[in-house]
Chains A and B, each alone.
Chain A
Amino acid sequence: EVQLVDSGGGVVRPGESLRVSCVASGFTFDDYAMSWVRQAPGKGPEWVSTLNWNGDVADYADFVKGRFTISRDNAKNSLYLQMNSLRPEDTALYYCTRVYAKAYDYWGQGSLVTVSS
């Protein structure tokens, strides 16, 4: 059974940093690109970043470029999102997702990140 387990969320102040993590199981992790998708309270999903299977190619939404860094450790079946210079508008549930046919076929349960002074 495919599982994605998100962790690392929390409450931080504007300008601070946080790292969210995802551990995958039930499939060959390095066969897939992975993405982070976020969803602010009461809003729709929003793509944040995608990393290819071996970590060589990363893409970012414009609103996080230069602030967030996606990475993966295939030996640990893990995906990470390092978030720096956090803003109140970054408050959201952050989902780890598996990319399949340019869509997201599996989602984690989400990690809640709250940015507030």
Chain B
Amino acid sequence: EIVLTQSPVTLSLSPGERATLSCRASQSVSSNFLAWYQQKPGQAPRLLIYGASSRPTGIPDRFRGSGSGTDFTLTITRVEPEDFAVYYCQRYGRSVFTFGPGTKVDIK
């Protein structure tokens, strides 16, 4: 069973700062089937990044995904007030989807 670990658990930032969120897999993620989601209270998760680095239509380019193998990063280049939320990574492999435990980005 592949386990995803996210760090930090909480990231406290001011608007305009850069956010760097980490997602580490216990085994290599094949074909970079790694995605990132944003979730705000009372809402369903929203897909931000798929294929490790691709953005769906409508996702601002301040959200950037990178990494390969077992180490992946979500970067928010300049955090906007609406970006304070919980972020989850998710991988796919061998017909199984797995989510990480999440990183909360809150206001400093």
Interface check B35, CB cutoff 8 A: yes
* Chain B interface category by residue count: 20 to 34
A110 & B50 in contact (Cβ 8 Å cutoff): no
List 22 interface pairs A-B (beta carbons < 8 Å), by A numbering: A44-B88, A44-B99, A44-B100, A44-B101, A47-B97, A47-B99, A50-B95, A50-B97, A59-B95, A59-B96, A101-B54, A102-B31, A102-B33, A102-B35, A102-B92, A103-B33, A103-B90, A104-B37, A105-B50, A107-B44, A107-B45, A107-B46
Interface check B85, CB cutoff 8 A: no
Interface size on A, residues (CB 8 A): 20
If the complex has contacts A45-B99, A47-B98, A47-B99, are A105 and B56 also in contact, measured as CB distance less than 8 A?
yes
User: Complex formed: what's the CA distance from A59 to B31 in Å?
Assistant: 20
Q: Which residue of chain A has its CB nearest to the CB of B91?
A: A102
- Render A43-56 as a binary contact track against B, CB cut-off 8 A, 1 for contact: 01111001000000
Q: Which residue of chain A has its CB nearest to the CB of B51?
A: A101
B97 & A44 in contact (Cβ 8 Å cutoff): no
Q: Which residue of chain A has its CB nearest to the CB of B92?
A: A102
B92 & A103 in contact (Cβ 8 Å cutoff): yes
- Render A35-73 as a binary contact track against B, CB cut-off 8 A, 1 for contact: 101000000111100100000000101000000000000
B44 & A108 in contact (Cβ 8 Å cutoff): yes
Q: Which of B35, B95, B102 makes the CB contact (< 8 A) with A103? A: B35
The 6 closest A-B pairs by CB, nearest first: A103-B35, A102-B92, A47-B97, A107-B44, A103-B50, A102-B33
User: Complex formed: what's the CA distance from A114 to B98 in Å?
Assistant: 23
Chain B residues in 8 Å Cβ range of A61: 96
Q: Which of B51, B88, B92, B96 makes the CB contact (< 8 A) with A45? A: B88
Interface check B11, CB cutoff 8 A: no
B102 & A44 in contact (Cβ 8 Å cutoff): yes
Interface check B47, CB cutoff 8 A: yes
Interface check A100, CB cutoff 8 A: yes
Chain A residues in 8 Å Cβ range of B88: 44-45
Q: Which residue of chain B has its CB nearest to the CB of A101?
A: B50
